[in-house]
Amino acid sequence: MDTTVRELSYAQAIQEAMAIAMEQDERVILMGEDIGVYGGAFQVTGDLVERFGADRVMDTPISELGGAGVAVGAAVTGLRPIFEFQFSDFATLAMEQIVNQAAKMRYMLGGAVSVPVVMRFPAGSGTGAAAQHSQSLEAWFGHVPGLKVIQPATPHDAKGMLLAAVADPDPVMIFEHKLLYKMKGPVPEGYYTVPIGKADIRREGRDLTIVATAIMVHKALEAAAQLKKEGIDAEVIDLRTIRPMDKDTVIASVKKTSRLLCVYEGVKTLGVGAEVSAMIAESDAFDYLDAPIVRLGGAETPIPYNPDLEKATVPQVPDIVAAARALATGNR
Amino acid sequence: MSQPKRKELETGANLPFIYREYSPGQLKDALRKMHLIRQFEEGAEESYMRGLIHGTMHLSIGQEASAMGICLPLTNDDQITSTHRGHGHCIAKGADVGKMFAEFFGKTTGYCRGRGGSMHIADVTTGNLGANGIVGGGIPIAVGAALTSKQLKTGKVVVSFFGDGANNEGAFHEALNMASIWKLPVIFVCENNGYGMSTSVERATAVPNIADRAAAYSMPGVIVDGNNLSEVAEAMHAAVERARRGDGPTLIESKTYRWRGHSKSDRNRYRTKDEIEEWMSRDPIPRLEKEMLDFGVVSQADLDAIRDSVKAEIAAGIEFAKESPAPEIKNLERYVYTEAA
């Protein structure tokens, strides 16, 4: 393994991971809308079509259901497709193939097949694209046994988790927050994997645990830096995987800090933080809690167009600071 | 068995396709599989009535020539995706009826280890990637399997079976379009049995023939009598050749009829007794038997032996299923994810 580390953007890191996977294994193909010469709506596939050809970087028609099904069928029979949805919202057109077929095929057939498909979903708000291009639907997929659902938050993890997803024998859904695509960070060269199902403690702290996903990890870290000035020491956990969830890391942290704040962009009700909260309430960490669990999630509304309204729809740094302060100081 | 017809067989003149293409042994196997499908479904139905099978099932009795004619030109390596009415496809592709009964009985020795039942019956060892509980669900999956064949140059041909109801699903149209633009080795087989549950093709579909829809995706659309083994096999043969040549997909519409209701809850209120009886008079099995006798491919003694051996195989299959162990509750979550090697 080459251990040289450079700064790459999140999008570049994903592209590098896909290139490595394709170099290593001819069974790996990319499929999606406008991922060829256009380079993908967010330029994640970029120029890969020039390196690997149109047979392996396949532009599909605008047929999300059929395209996803083709990827599933290809995966079952020996290819390793990486299927890009142009926007995660468009997965609503393909739920049948994802939920009824990809997730259940191994089980329905009693283990006779595996479905090693990777699906990538550019997700989240903040781009002014309004209600049908800004959703965070990861919790929907997290509800389905048979799927694995990940949300890498850094370029390093985006590359390592994508390579782990390609090596995984089961369907892996990757939710990539669109505002992260241009974020830069250190990324080692060469092949490495970041395990699916392992959370990461991004910042250690004593006073409360903030469990965050995707872009909320960065907002939580920013909030933690501000809270530090007030003498509040927050531990920030990047959940990284929604299914299977790393319960141990969260439970151990809550036992240490006795306070839990969940921060996620998806709609608050029945979202990822709801599951984390319930998981803690059912665990022996419950006895360690000094205050009720707090959730900050997306508002109970579609994502609006107006930029101020859009910002107000999802948790922002001041919201996290205020909620964490109230939780840590008892002023709830 | 008259002499002139034997002569005809030797010269091949004016004989239906299958008698020119297949040996008497192969044709006997095909007839035997049609009996096996019929008796398997009758056995499954009886076991259901006796409470040995729960849930529901969708029987294809009357459609045996369609399943068999499509699978006749395929090799064991070729693949199929099937439907909720998929027992016939599974047997025609070469599955073992004992393991099928075991699956229906919910046993660990079943093809899906008791996790799938009738609606998810599969046998990947003979290329059956599975029946499907979702109408049209298997069509894009078949196209994906054909993409694998093309990409890895395996030479495999893939068949997607579906019913007339599926031709109004979006997945059908998306899948046919992609198969055509990428010239994939896949054959779309619509078994048009007249009704999607209770809704007739006339009421549900804007074109008179489902094969007409092939034109929209620049592929041949072929209509065959689904109760005539030779006609189905002949159309399939041409489609397989086209697929193996790399010329892309074909849509075959096999017009047939299911004698039984849609599922076990069907009260048959949407069709007449006369209609059912009229179709029952076109039973594909005696029709084939008579033809094979006429052309001297089999003797009456052969036919009797086939029926008897099928009967014995079905009885043994049911016995195997009954005696097989049930899954253990502690293994409920097994096969959700691939276990670490």
Instruction: Identify the CA nearest to A210 among candidates A174, A162, A259.
Output: A259
Instruction: Identify the CA nearest to A291 among candidates A205, A227, A209, A199.
Output: A209
Residue A170 belongs to a domain: yes
Nearest CA in chain A to B132: A101
User: In chain B, which among 271-290 make CB contacts under 8 A with chain A?
Assistant: none
- Mutation pick from A25, A27, A70 vs chain B, by most beta carbons of B within 10 Å, is A70
Candidates B124, B171, B338; nearest CB to A170: B338
The C-alpha atoms of residue B181 and residue B263 are separated, in whole angstroms, by: 36
User: What single-letter DSSP state applies at residue A116?
Assistant: -
Asked whether the predicted pLDDT for residue A243 surpasses 90, the reply is: yes
**Strand bridging mode B221-225 / B250-255:** parallel
Residue whose token pair is 């605008």: A62
* Domain-terminating residue out of A162, A188, A214: A188
Average pLDDT in the A269-283 region? 98
Q: Are residues A172 and A25 in the same domain?
A: yes
Nearest CA in chain A to B108: A110
Q: Encode A263-300: b = buried (16+ Cβ within 10 Å), e = exposed.
A: bbbbbbeebbbbbbbebbeebebeebbebebbbbbbee
Peptide linkage before A244 cis (omega within 30 of 0): yes
Asked whether the predicted pLDDT for residue B187 surpasses 90, the reply is: yes
On whether the pTM is more than 0.90, the answer is yes
Q: Are residues A182 and A260 in the same domain?
A: no
Asked whether the predicted pLDDT for residue B3 surpasses 80, the reply is: no
Average pLDDT in the B181-208 region? 97
Q: Are residues A246 and A313 in the same domain?
A: yes
Contacts of B245 (CB under 8 A, 6+ apart): none
Q: Are residues A265 and A124 in the same domain?
A: no
The C-alpha atoms of residue A280 and residue A26 are separated, in whole angstroms, by: 43
Contacts of B45 (CB under 8 A, 6+ apart): B57, B59, B260
Asked whether the predicted pLDDT for residue A91 surpasses 80, the reply is: yes
Residues from chain B that touch A109, judged by Cβ atoms under 8 A, are: 111-112, 115-116, 120, 122, 124, 130, 335
Q: At what angle do helices A155-167 and A10-24 cross, to 10 degrees?
A: 30
- Token code pair at residue B309: 């051996």
Instruction: Identify the CA nearest to A179 among candidates A150, A208, A215.
Output: A215
Residue A210 belongs to a domain: yes
Q: Are residues A76 and A12 in the same domain?
A: yes
Amino acid at site A136: S
Give the pLDDT of residue B213: 98
Q: Is there a contact between B336 and A70 if contact means CB atoms under 8 Å apart?
A: no
The C-alpha atoms of residue B224 and residue A297 are separated, in whole angstroms, by: 58
Residues from chain A that touch B144, judged by Cβ atoms under 8 A, are: 69-77, 79, 81
Q: Are residues A218 and A149 in the same domain?
A: no
Candidates B120, B137, B174; nearest CB to A63: B174
CA angle B32, B34, B35 (to 5 degrees): 65
User: Which strands sit side by side in the sheet containing A28-32, from one edge to the other?
Assistant: A57-59, A28-32, A80-84, A118-123, A172-177, A148-150, A241-243
The C-alpha atoms of residue B182 and residue A247 are separated, in whole angstroms, by: 45
Q: Walk me through the domains of chain B, giving residue ranges and CATH numbers.
A: 3-7+25-319 (3.40.50.970)
- Token code pair at residue A72: 């599933």
Residue A45 belongs to a domain: yes
Contacts of B161 (CB under 8 A, 6+ apart): B67, B70, B80, B81, B82, B83, B86, B89, B138, B189, B191
CATH number of the domain enclosing A277: 3.40.50.920
Nearest CA in chain A to B143: A70
Q: What is the DSSP string of B296-331?
A: TS--HHHHHHHHHHHHHHHHHHHHHHHHSPPPPGGG
pLDDT category of residue B14 using cuts at 50, 70 and 90: confident
Residue A193 belongs to a domain: no
Please state the ipTM of this predicted complex: 0.96
pLDDT category of residue B9 using cuts at 50, 70 and 90: low
Instruction: Identify the CA nearest to B214 among candidates B243, B189, B232.
Output: B189
Asked whether the predicted pLDDT for residue B8 surpasses 60, the reply is: no
Give the pLDDT of residue B2: 41
Q: Are residues A29 and A150 in the same domain?
A: yes
User: In chain B, which among 74-93 make CB contacts under 8 A with chain A?
Assistant: 79, 81
- List pLDDT tens digits, range B103-115: 999 999 999 999 9
What is the domain count for chain A?
2
Asked whether the predicted pLDDT for residue A307 surpasses 90, the reply is: yes
Residues from chain B that touch A81, judged by Cβ atoms under 8 A, are: 144
Q: Are residues A85 and A218 in the same domain?
A: no
CATH number of the domain enclosing A101: 3.40.50.970
Q: Are residues A102 and A122 in the same domain?
A: yes
Q: Are residues A123 and A252 in the same domain?
A: no
Q: Over chain B, what is the mean pLDDT?
A: 95
Residue A133 belongs to a domain: yes
Q: Out of A110-119, B2-11, B98-107, which region has the weakest mean confidence (pLDDT)? A: B2-11
Q: End-to-end alpha-carbon separation of chain B, Å?
A: 59
- List pLDDT tens digits, range B257-285: 999 999 888 888 999 999 999 999 999 99
**Strand bridging mode B186-192 / B158-163:** parallel
The C-alpha atoms of residue A147 and residue B130 are separated, in whole angstroms, by: 19
- Mutation pick from B90, B129, B174 vs chain A, by most beta carbons of A within 10 Å, is B174
Residues from chain A that touch B113, judged by Cβ atoms under 8 A, are: 110-111
Instruction: Identify the CA nearest to A37 among candidates A28, A26, A48.
Output: A48
Instruction: Identify the CA nearest to B186 among candidates B233, B124, B138.
Output: B138
Q: Please say whether the beta carbons of A3 and A189 come within 8 A.
A: yes
Q: Are residues A215 and A178 in the same domain?
A: no
- Long-range contacts formed by A195-198: CB under 8 A, 24+ apart: A195/A164, A196/A148, A196/A150, A196/A161, A196/A164, A196/A165, A196/A168, A196/A172, A196/A241, A196/A244, A197/A148, A197/A241, A197/A244, A197/A245, A197/A246, A198/A240, A198/A241, A198/A246, A198/A249
Contacts of B105 (CB under 8 A, 6+ apart): B47, B52, B53, B321, B322, B324
Q: Please say whether the beta carbons of B188 and B164 come within 8 A.
A: no
- List pLDDT tens digits, range A170-220: 999 999 999 999 999 999 999 999 999 999 999 999 999 999 999 999 999
Candidates B145, B173, B335; nearest CB to A107: B335
Average pLDDT in the B45-67 region? 95
Q: Are residues A17 and A147 in the same domain?
A: yes
User: What single-letter DSSP state applies at residue A187?
Assistant: E
The C-alpha atoms of residue B204 and residue B279 are separated, in whole angstroms, by: 21
* Domain-terminating residue out of A188, A217, A242: A188
Residue A2 belongs to a domain: no
Domain that holds residue A249: 200-329
Residues from chain B that touch A60, judged by Cβ atoms under 8 A, are: 178
Residue A48 belongs to a domain: yes
Residues from chain B that touch A105, judged by Cβ atoms under 8 A, are: 130
Question: What is the distance of C-alpha A245 from the center of its chain?
Answer: 12
* Domain-terminating residue out of A188, A220, A237: A188
- Mutation pick from A26, A29, A59, A77 vs chain B, by most beta carbons of B within 10 Å, is A77
User: What single-letter DSSP state applies at residue B51?
Assistant: T
Residue A242 belongs to a domain: yes
The C-alpha atoms of residue A204 and residue A211 are separated, in whole angstroms, by: 12
Q: Is there a contact between B140 and A72 if contact means CB atoms under 8 Å apart?
A: yes
B120 touching chain A per CB within 8 A: yes
